[in-house]
C-alpha cells in the first residue's frame, strides 16, 4: 500500500510554463525537497515521466522496494509524478523505479534534479538540503564591471581532479583544500577568472566530466555542495570570477542517467540520426521538446543562482548547430528548409542566452564553437546566437602551427600568424590554449616549441606575450603557465616539481607579469573586441620576421613589437602612432623570465621621420625571440 501523500509544489502557471518550454526555475519544483506537511517533516518528490505506467521512489528508507512508495501522476497531462513521503530526510539515498507503458520496460533512474549524488561508481541520488553560507557581497555587487566585455578576461582552466594531488594519500584535493591552495595560487598569478572543467556529477573519470548524469549536483568526488560553494566564495573574495564548463550538447547512456528515462526517448531525440553522437558515443538532447528546453535552461540558471557562478563556457556548440556534424553522407537528414543547420538547437541556444542575460546580466556565456557559423556572439535581437564570447579556434590552430616551425622558415609563413586579425572583430573572441591542445599526442605547449632548450622556452615566452597582446580574452590550461613538459594526464598531478627550476620559474614570472599588465593597461583590454582598439604598424616585414602593432583605449596606447627569430635586431626602425616619449612596459627577454638580457631601449623619444606609413618613428634594439611593449607617455 502506498505511503505517499498527495502534495504538490506546482501551480497551474508552473505547469503551463513547463509545457511551453519557458519554466526556468524547475529546480525549485522538480527533484526532492525536504519540507513539512501538516507538522510532519519529510520529502516531496517530483519527476517527469510521461510514458510511465507507474513511478515508485525506492531507497534506503524502504529497502529499495518498489511497492511501498508509489508516486501520483498529475491530472493535467504534464507527465509529472509527485508526492510527499513522511520521514524521508536529508542524506537518504533514493532512485525512481519506472514501469513504462512501452513494452513493459522497467528502469531505475537517478533523479535528474538531484542536488547531490553518491560518489561514483555508486549511482543513487541523495535527498539534500543545500545550506550555503555566502560572504561574497562585495564581489556580487560589483561583478558587473569584473565580468564586462571591456574588462580583462584572463582565464585559468582547471581540472579539479588533477591540478594538485596528495601524493602520499593518492587522492585529489578536496573543494575545501582547493579553496585555500588553488585560489591563493590563481590570485598570485594574477588570473582574473578560473574556469572549472565540468564539476556536475559524472560516472566515468576518463570523460573528464563531459559525460554528465547529475546536472544539478556538484560532483561528490571532492566534497559536499556547501564545500563547492565555499570554493566559489573563496574565489570571489580573492577577486577571481568563476566560469563553469556546461554541457548541453550530449549525455551518456549509463543505465541510471537520462537515456531511455521512462522507457522511451524522453530527453534524447528519438531519431538516431539526430539523437546519437558518433564521436562521443553519447545521446543528444531533443531541443525541439519544450520540457527538455525547460530542463536545460533551468540548469544553466541554477548554477548562476544557487552557486553565484559568473559565466558558463558552453561545450561543443558546433556539434549542436549542424545536423551533419561528424556524420557521413546518409547519416543525417536536412532540416525542413533543406539545410544542414539544426534549427531547434539554434532556437534553444538563443532562448538559453536570452534567459541568462535577462536574469543575470552581470555574467557571461562563452561558446566553444569551431566553425564559421555567423554572429555567435551577437545579440539575438539582431539575429545572433546571443553568446557573450566565442573561442577563437582559428587563432589557436594557426598560431600553434606557426610556432611549431623552425624560425628560419617563419618568414614564409608570416600570414599564418597575422591572418587572425582579418576576422578578429567579427565576434567577441577569446583566445584559448585549452586542455584539448595538450592531450592525445599533441604534446604540451612547451613541447611544440622548436629549437634547443633555451629556444623552446624563449619561443614559449614569445607565444604567450603575443597572445596577451592580441585582441580578445585569454584562456590558458593549467600547467601551461609554468611550461609543463608532459601532456596533461587527468589521473595524476601537474608536475609542480618543475617550478623549482629556473626556466619554469621564468615562465611563471612571465605569466604573472603579463596578467598584471593586461589587467592594469586599459589599452590591452578596454577595446579588446573593437577594431578601434587595434592597428597594425607592420605585418609585412617577413624578411626580418618582425610584426608590430598598436593597442589602444580611449586614453592610452601601447606599441607591441615581436621579433619572431633568434637573431636580435639592432637599430630596427619602427613607425610610431604618436609623437612623444615611449617607456618600456615589458620585455619577454628579461633575465627574470629566463631570457638573455639583451640590452633594449628603456625609453626613447619619437623622431619626426616618416616610416611604415606613420609620421613618427624610432630605431630600437629588439631582443631574440621576444616581445617588447612600450607605452606612449
Span 99-119, mean pLDDT? 97
Q: What per-residue confidence (pLDDT) applies to 169?
A: 87
Sequence ranges of the domains in the chain: 12-126, 531-632
The CATH number of the domain covering residues in 12-126 = 2.60.40.10
| Nearest-angstrom CA–CA distance, 74 and 166 | 50
Q: CB under 8 Å to 447, separation ≥6 — which residues?
A: 485, 486, 487
Q: What per-residue confidence (pLDDT) applies to 593?
A: 98
Asked whether the beta carbons of 463 and 399 are under 8 A apart, the reply is: yes
Rounded to 5°, angle at Cα 155 from 149 and 158: 145
Give SS3 for 130.
coil
- Is a pLDDT exceeding 60 seen at residue 540? yes
Give SS3 for 274.
helix
Task: Copy the grid coordinates of residue 29.
Answer: 519544483
Of 445, 439, 520, residue with least CA distance to 475: 445
Asked whether the beta carbons of 554 and 526 are under 8 A apart, the reply is: yes
| Nearest-angstrom CA–CA distance, 387 and 318 | 13
| Nearest-angstrom CA–CA distance, 141 and 511 | 29
Q: CB under 8 Å to 89, separation ≥6 — which residues?
A: 34, 41, 42, 43, 127
> Which of these is catalytic: 245, 315, 481, 513?
315
| Nearest-angstrom CA–CA distance, 345 and 551 | 37
- Would 12-126 and 531-632 be classified into the same CATH topology? yes
Q: CB under 8 Å to 501, separation ≥6 — which residues?
A: none
Residue 318: φ, ψ to 5°: -60, -35
Question: Between the CA of residue 473 and those of 151, 329, 387, 470, 627, what are the distances in Å?
Answer: 9, 37, 14, 9, 19
- Is a pLDDT exceeding 90 seen at residue 633? no
Q: Write down the number of H helices and E strands in the chain.
A: 12, 31
Q: What per-residue confidence (pLDDT) applies to 168?
A: 85
Q: What per-residue confidence (pLDDT) applies to 253?
A: 96
Question: Between the CA of residue 352 and those of 9, 14, 205, 236, 341, what are the distances in Å?
Answer: 24, 18, 28, 25, 18
Specify whether the backbone of 540 is left (phi greater than 0), alpha (psi in -120 to 50) or beta.
Answer: alpha
| Nearest-angstrom CA–CA distance, 11 and 14 | 5
Sign of CA dihedral 506, 508, 514, 520: negative
Of 150, 193, 146, residue with least CA distance to 552: 150
Question: Between the CA of residue 276 and those of 152, 271, 297, 408, what are the distances in Å?
Answer: 38, 8, 21, 47
Task: Copy the grid coordinates of residue 509.
Answer: 614570472
Q: What is the DSSP letter of 412?
A: G
Kindly state the percentage of the chain with pLDDT values over 90.
97
pLDDT in tens, 443-466: 999 999 999 999 999 999 999 999
> Which of these is catalytic: 111, 118, 262, 368?
368
Q: What per-residue confidence (pLDDT) applies to 239?
A: 98
pLDDT in tens, 129-146: 999 999 999 999 999 999
Q: What burial letters (b/e) apply to 494-522, b meaning 16+ CB within 10 Å?
A: bbeebeeeebbbbbbbbbebbbebbbebb
Is 315 assigned a catalytic role? Answer: yes
Asked whether the beta carbons of 482 and 499 are under 8 A apart, the reply is: yes
Of 55, 59, 65, residue with least CA distance to 88: 59
Asked whether the beta carbons of 206 and 280 are under 8 A apart, the reply is: no
Q: What per-residue confidence (pLDDT) applies to 71?
A: 98
Looking up cell 515521466 gives: 49
Task: Copy the grid coordinates of residue 416.
Answer: 599564418
Is 368 assigned a catalytic role? Answer: yes
Q: Give the pLDDT band of residue 251 (cuts 50, 70, 90).
A: very high
| Nearest-angstrom CA–CA distance, 263 and 176 | 40
Span 514-538, mean pLDDT? 97
Span 90-95, mean pLDDT? 98
Burial of residue 226 (CB within 10 Å: 0-12, 13-18, 19+) is middle
Name which residue leads in pLDDT, 1 or 484.
484
Span 93-110, mean pLDDT? 97
Could you tell me how far CA 180 lies from the centroid of its own chain? 22
pLDDT in tens, 184-240: 999 999 999 999 999 999 999 999 999 999 999 999 999 999 999 999 999 999 999
Q: What per-residue confidence (pLDDT) applies to 387?
A: 98
Q: What per-residue confidence (pLDDT) applies to 83?
A: 97
Name which residue leads in pLDDT, 278 or 126.
126
Q: What per-residue confidence (pLDDT) applies to 228?
A: 98
Give SS3 for 447.
helix
Span 396-403, mean pLDDT? 96
- Is a pLDDT exceeding 50 seen at residue 113? yes
Pairing of strands 165-166, 534-541: unpaired
In DSSP terms, 522 is beta-bridged to none
Given CATH 2.60.40.1180, say whether it is the number of domain 531-632. yes
pLDDT in tens, 268-287: 999 999 999 988 999 999 99
User: In whole numbers, what is the pLDDT of the chain averaged over residues?
Assistant: 96
- Is a pLDDT exceeding 60 seen at residue 468? yes
Could you tell me how far CA 514 lies from the centroid of its own chain? 21
Q: Give the pLDDT band of residue 1 (cuts 50, 70, 90).
A: very low
Amino acid at each position: 500500500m502506498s505511503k505517499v501523500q498527495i502534495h504538490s509544489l506546482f501551480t497551474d502557471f508552473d505547469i503551463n510554463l513547463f509545457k511551453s518550454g519557458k519554466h526556468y526555475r524547475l529546480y525549485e519544483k522538480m527533484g526532492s525537497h525536504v519540507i513539512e506537511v501538516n507538522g510532519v517533516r519529510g520529502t516531496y518528490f517530483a519527476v517527469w515521466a510521461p510514458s510511465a505506467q507507474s513511478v515508485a521512489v525506492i531507497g534506503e528508507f524502504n529497502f529499495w522496494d518498489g511497492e511501498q512508495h508509489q508516486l501520483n501522476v498529475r491530472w493535467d497531462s504534464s507527465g509529472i509524478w509527485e508526492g510527499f513521503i513522511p520521514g524521508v530526510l536529508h542524506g537518504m539515498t533514493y532512485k525512481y523505479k519506472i514501469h513504462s507503458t512501452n513494452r513493459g520496460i522497467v528502469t531505475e533512474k537517478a533523479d535528474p534534479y538531484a542536488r547531490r549524488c553518491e560518489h561514483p561508481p555508486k549511482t543513487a541520488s541523495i535527498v539534500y538540503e543545500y545550506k550555503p553560507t555566502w560572504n561574497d557581497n562585495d564581489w556580487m555587487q560589483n561583478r558587473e564591471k569584473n565580468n564586462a566585455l571591456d574588462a580583462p578576461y584572463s582565464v585559468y582552466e582547471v581540472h579539479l581532479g588533477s591540478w594538485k594531488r596528495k601524493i602520499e594519500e593518492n587522492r585529489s584535493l578536496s573543494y575545501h583544500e582547493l579553496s585555500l591552495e588553488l585560489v591563493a595560487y590563481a590570485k598570485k598569478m594574477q588570473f582574473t577568472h578560473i574556469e572549472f572543467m565540468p564539476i556536475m556529477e559524472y560516472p566515468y573519470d576518463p570523460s573528464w566530466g563531459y559525460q554528465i548524469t547529475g546536472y544539478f549536483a556538484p560532483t561528490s568526488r571532492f566534497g559536499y555542495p556547501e564545500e563547492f560553494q565555499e570554493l566559489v566564495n573563496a574565489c570571489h573574495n580573492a577577486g577571481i570570477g568563476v566560469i563553469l564548463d556546461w554541457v548541453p550538447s550530449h549525455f551518456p547512456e549509463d543505465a541510471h542517467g537520462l537515456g531511455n528515462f521512462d522507457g522511451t526517448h524522453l530527453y534524447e531525440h528519438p531519431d538516431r540520426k539526430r539523437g546519437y553522437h558518433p564521436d562521443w558515443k553519447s545521446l543528444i538532447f531533443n531541443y525541439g521538446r519544450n520540457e527538455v528546453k525547460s530542463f536545460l535552461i533551468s540548469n544553466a540558471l541554477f548554477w548562476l543562482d544557487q552557486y553565484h557562478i559568473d559565466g558558463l563556457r558552453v561545450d561543443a556548440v558546433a556539434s549542436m548547430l549542424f545536423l551533419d556534424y561528424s556524420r557521413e553522407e546518409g547519416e543525417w537528414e536536412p532540416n525542413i528548409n533543406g539545410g544542414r543547420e539544426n534549427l531547434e538547437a539554434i532556437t534553444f541556444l538563443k532562448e538559453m542566452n536570452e534567459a541568462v542575460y535577462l536574469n543575470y546580466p552581470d555574467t557571461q556565456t562563452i561558446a566553444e564553437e569551431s566553425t564559421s557559423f555567423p554572429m555567435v556572439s551577437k545579440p539575438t535581437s539582431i539575429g545572433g546566437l546571443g553568446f557573450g564570447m566565442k573561442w577563437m579556434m582559428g587563432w589557436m590552430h594557426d598560431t600553434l602551427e606557426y610556432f611549431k616551425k623552425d624560425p628560419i622558415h617563419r618568414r614564409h609563413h608570416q600570414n599564418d600568424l597575422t591572418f587572425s586579425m582579418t576576422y578578429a572583430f567579427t565576434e567577441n573572441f577569446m583566445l584559448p590554449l585549452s586542455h584539448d591542445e595538450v592531450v592525445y599526442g599533441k604534446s604540451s605547449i612547451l613541447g611544440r616549441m622548436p629549437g634547443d632548450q633555451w629556444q623552446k622556452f624563449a619561443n614559449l615566452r614569445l607565444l604567450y606575450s603575443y597572445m596577451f597582446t592580441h585582441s580578445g580574452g585569454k584562456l590558458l590550461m593549467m600547467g601551461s603557465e609554468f611550461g609543463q613538459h608532459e601532456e596533461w594526464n587527468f589521473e595524476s598531478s601537474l608536475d609542480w616539481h618543475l617550478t623549482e627550476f629556473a626556466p619554469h620559474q621564468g615562465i611563471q614570472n612571465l605569466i604573472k607579469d603579463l596578467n598584471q599588465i593586461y589587467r592594469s593597461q586599459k589599452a590591452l583590454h578596454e577595446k579588446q573586441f573593437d577594431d578601434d582598439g587595434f592597428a597594425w604598424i607592420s605585418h609585412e616585414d617577413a624578411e626580418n620576421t618582425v610584426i608590430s602593432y598598436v593597442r589602444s583605449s580611449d586614453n592610452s596606447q601601447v606599441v607591441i613589437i615581436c621579433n619572431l627569430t633568434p637573431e636580435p635586431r639592432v637599430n630596427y626602425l619602427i613607425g610610431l602612432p604618436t609623437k612623444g616619449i615611449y617607456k618600456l612596459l615589458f620585455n619577454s627577454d628579461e633575465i627574470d623570465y629566463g631570457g638573455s638580457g639583451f640590452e633594449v631601449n628603456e625609453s626613447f623619444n619619437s623622431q619626426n621621420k616618416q616610416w611604415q606609413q606613420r609620421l613618427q618613428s624610432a630605431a630600437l634594439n629588439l631582443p631574440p625571440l621576444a616581445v617588447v611593449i612600450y607605452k606612449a607617455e
